[in-house]
A = this chain, B = another copy of it.
Amino acid sequence: MKTLRSYLGDRWVEGSGARQTLVNPATEEPLAEASSDGLDLAAALEHARRKGGPTLRSLSFAERGMFLKEMANSDAKFDVDGAIFTLQTYAEIGTALGAAKFLVDGDGVQLGRSPRFHGQHISVPRHGVAVQINAFNFPAWGLAEKAASALLAGMPVLSKPATSSAMVAHRVMEILVEKKVLPEGTLSLLVGAPRDLPALLGAQDVLAFTGSGDTGMRIRALPNVIRDSVRVNVEADSLNAAVLGPDAEPGGDMYETFLKDVLRDMTQKAGQKCTAIRRVLVPEAHAATVRDDLAEGLKAVRVGNPALEETRMGPLASGSQLADVREGVARLVAEGKPAFGSSAPLAGKGFFMSPVLMEFAKGALAASVHAREVFGPVASLLPYSGKGADAAAIVARGNGGLVSSVYSEDAAFLEEVVSGIAPYHGRLFLGHPKIEMSPGPGTVLPQLVHGGPGRAGGGEELGGVRGLAFYMQRVALEGSRPVIQKLIGVQSS
């Protein structure tokens, strides 16, 4: 069986001790094993800080962007989940930022009576290492989207994929190392348990984490994180909502767009996307129709091994994920009514389950619907009055999320919902039938920010050049105008 190694301090190293086994979720056959026991994580971090950091800081944005371009080009099979597109987008941002090594933030400001007393904000790369801990569900994109922002900003990266799906990131790293794509110390990979990695970070380091809210909370409560103000970006749980407007009549184009997006989000990756629709708000007048139409759509979804052509939905990623989703469905069933499917085990090997659509009465308190992210092919139907303010109040009960979507062509309704729920989200998707090839709300695009307040972790990633801010320190330069302009490379006028 293959043993996955880690790439630390610019060499491949193998953990000792008990190994974790990675299995094929469709067959439960063992695929590989990995361990991080005994690896010197402190030395790996220090190597990245001492070797990778100064190299990246000596390069321009355009030069850093070239490395991202080479990463994107290094293997054609690499665009699982849109990883290549994200790398390409950040490579282009690097080209656009050009020969600079830091960002100039806004215009200079006159601070005194004469223009000589001057202020200028700039953003410079932090002097530490960026530790990036990814979730199991986007094994290639997770590595790429986080590393792209950090490397372009000028910080070295230590990436830790979720162990259960680490084979993908491991293969990516093998290719990058074989082809010598990146300079020494700029990218490290830790496979296996993170051990005390977050506890080893200091004031110039940053930690970007995608995963469960519980783990995010443990990281944020670490004494070093609190004492040294270690920057932490958490992307965690989210009860994303889709709101159908009262004007979107069944059978119409907007209604069909809505149905398509809900069905896609419930079944794509077996619902294992942090941006998938979990709560479906429908005007009560249309609730029964929506239920029947979704049930019909779900019935057509063939669940099975993704190796087979007829399969439309594969298994959950692991046995523990399946157990967790079943427990979540049980909680929903205690408060509502199954309208399609159940979480009863499917026969045979593999972590398969049927899609599940839950139905709730209008105004039901249904605490779990708004508080428990069921990370699988599961969504809940919530009827509402048809008023925008009522829909917004229900959505807000999720206490902060990554993305919600609205399907309406009624400008007043849209305005009411958007203004009501915008502060609770990092992104709002406004469904529209005339958008060709619409990816729906569940797809994260590198041009737009990804993250959300409250339950979603309070973080923010991507969003084009906005994604660099987390890896940089903004600093105000205050003093004589010609001195500052010389420092930032502007010709004095």
In the complex, A300 has a CB within 8 A of chain B: no
- Across the interface, A113 reaches (CB within 8 A) one of B227, B431, B437, B473, namely B437
Residues of B within 8 A of A428 (CB): 475-478
Let me know if B203 and A454 touch, CB within 8 A: yes
Specify the chain B residue showing the minimal Cβ separation from A396.
B127
What is the size, in residues, of chain A's interface with B at 8 Å between Cβ atoms?
Answer: 83
CB of A319 within 8 A of chain B? Answer: no
Given contacts A204-B424, A422-B473, contact A484 B430 (CB under 8 A): yes
Copies in the complex: 2
Quick one: given A229-B456, A423-B204, A455-B228, are A478 and B112 in contact (CB under 8 Å)? no
Residue A124 CB within 8 A of the other chain: yes
Chain A interface, DSSP helix/strand/loop, else mixed? mixed
Least CB separation from A225: chain B residue: B220
Binary contact track A427-453/B, C-beta < 8 Å → 1, others 0: 111111011111001000101110001
C-alpha spacing A419/B415, complex, angstroms: 46
CA distance A478 to B405 in the complex (A): 9
Instruction: State A487–B473 Cα separation when bound (angstroms).
Output: 33
Determine if A430 and B226 form an interchain contact, defined as CB atoms under 8 angstroms apart: no
- CB-based contact B484/A112 at 8 Å: no
Are the CB atoms of B453 and A203 closer together than 8 Å?
Answer: yes
Q: Are B229 and A487 in contact (CB under 8 A)?
A: no
Distance A419 CA – B422 CA, assembled complex (angstroms): 38
Residue of B with least CB distance to A438: B117
Closest to A445 in B: B111
**Chain A residues packing against B (C-beta within 8 Å):** 102, 106, 109, 111-114, 116-117, 119, 121-122, 124-127, 202-204, 213, 217, 220-221, 226-229, 231, 234, 396, 399-400, 409, 411, 414-415, 418-419, 422-432, 434-438, 441, 445, 447-449, 453-460, 463-464, 466, 472-480, 483-484, 486-487
